[in-house]
Structure 1
Amino acid sequence: MRKQREAEVFRITGARQGLADDVRGRQRRYVISMLIRTLSVLLTVVLWNVQRPLAIVTLVVGALLPYVAVVIANAGRENAPSAPSSFIEPPVRPAIGPADTVPEPRHSRPDGPVADHS
């Protein structure tokens, strides 16, 4: 009978995304933020003589968005909220029952044969 090794079993479902995918996602978020900033600056120019309060709001958004976009883009890799353990315990094999449940034959004992004195 071969002796089975207790191998470690690793779960990969909690793995983070690859570094290239992470960088691509950050770049995409930054570009979208800069597009929104460009639109807000253009709206500021268009609305300046038409509706000045709204133009001031778009100017503030256009001024603050680069800072927010850089902070969001450099926030780092995502954290798994509750990453599962990477180690799974091997299944427990049922043990053989206690030795006293098996009846011991009368004629053989560890200290020698039983003498019948009848």
Structure 2
Amino acid sequence: MSTNRRDEPTVQSVTSARSAANDDINARMKHYLVTMGIRTGCFVLAFVTQGWVRWTCVALAVVLPYVAVVFANARSPRVAGRVAAVTPRDPHRRQLDQ
């Protein structure tokens, strides 16, 4: 751990930490399931409707799996510059130094 000018340790702020990996996976899984649910609806509508609506539903049913997989594999981007150093404030440390 590096130190700053006053020999106090540099600590990363909890608010600048990345979100948990499980949160990212759960969000991607939710997006995938919603997209595949829409695809299932398109299959049902393709059998119920006629004309251009049927062909639009068929086209969506063909394209949506690709879209769902691409978005499910996309990770949330890392934001540069969000990590900030924080000097810990410990009121008891002042008393010990005296």
* TM-score, structure 1 as length reference: 0.61
Paired residue for 1:84, among 79, 82, 85?
Answer: 82
For 1:83 and 1:42, how far apart are their aligned partners in 2?
A: 47
Q: Which has the higher contact order (CA 8 A, sep 6+)?
A: 2
Give 2:49's aligned amino acid.
L
1:74 aligns with 2:73: yes
Q: Which residue of 2 aligns with 1:98?
A: none
Which structure 2 residue ranges, 5 or more long, are not aligned? Answer: 1-5, 89-98
Counterpart residue type for residue 24 of structure 2: D
1:79 is displaced (CA, Å) by: 2.1
Ranges in structure 1 where 5+ consecutive residues have no aligned partner: 91-118
Q: CA RMSD in A?
A: 2.1
The secondary structure found in structure 2 opposite 1:13 is helix
* Counterpart AA for 2:68: A
Q: Give the percent of matched residue pairs that are identical in Structure 1 and Structure 2.
A: 31
Tell me the CA shift for residue 41 of structure 1.
Answer: 1.0
TM-score normalised to structure 2 length: 0.72
Of 61-70 and 6-15, deviating more is 6-15
